[in-house]
Structure 1
Amino acid sequence: MIAKQVNEIRNLSQSELDEKIIEIKKDIFELKFKQATRQPIKTHLFKTKKRLLSQLLTIEHNYKNTK
């Protein structure tokens, strides 16, 4: 399933990739904000969102180096 996600991410255009990165960063910020205000959160989302963000940033870096 994860390999399928990575292949889908690689097929995104540069603008779509940038939008996805911003979206994931906002999600992580919201999770941190909820944690700081002691609202109920699903803690496993931190790991999955950070991992997805690192994958997106790596693909973006590779995309920029190839051009």
Structure 2
Amino acid sequence: MYRVVLKEHLVQTLFRDEYDLLHEDYQLYLLPSILESKKLAKSGQAKQKYADLEYNVTKQVEKMIR
């Protein structure tokens, strides 16, 4: 078993193959959501205050995960 620590905020005990599945889920579900939020924030389709907040949160999440 391996202990994976993501920026001191998320601690999970994972088997080696479970880590691969977690990374795959990140690629399939979380990453597209982050990219979509960035696009909406940049295009101005969302209210500006909400868009700025959403953009900042997605940047922080992206940094924590990578």
**What band does the TM-score fall into relative to the shorter chain?**
0.5 to 0.7
Give 1 or 2: higher helix fraction.
1
Larger radius of gyration: 2
- Cα distance 1:7–1:25, how it changes in 2: closer, same or farther (>3 A)? farther
The CA distance in 2 between the partners of 1:49 and 1:23, in whole Å, is 9
Gaps of 5+ in 1: 59-67
Consecutive aligned runs of 4 or more in structure 1 exceeding 4 Å deviation: none
Give 1 or 2: higher strand fraction.
2
Aligned residues, how many? 50
The structure, 1 or 2, with the larger RCO (C-alpha pairs under 8 Å, 6+ apart) is: 1
- Cα distance 1:7–1:30, how it changes in 2: closer, same or farther (>3 A)? farther
Identity of aligned residues (%): 8
Compute the RMSD of aligned alpha carbons. Answer: 2.8
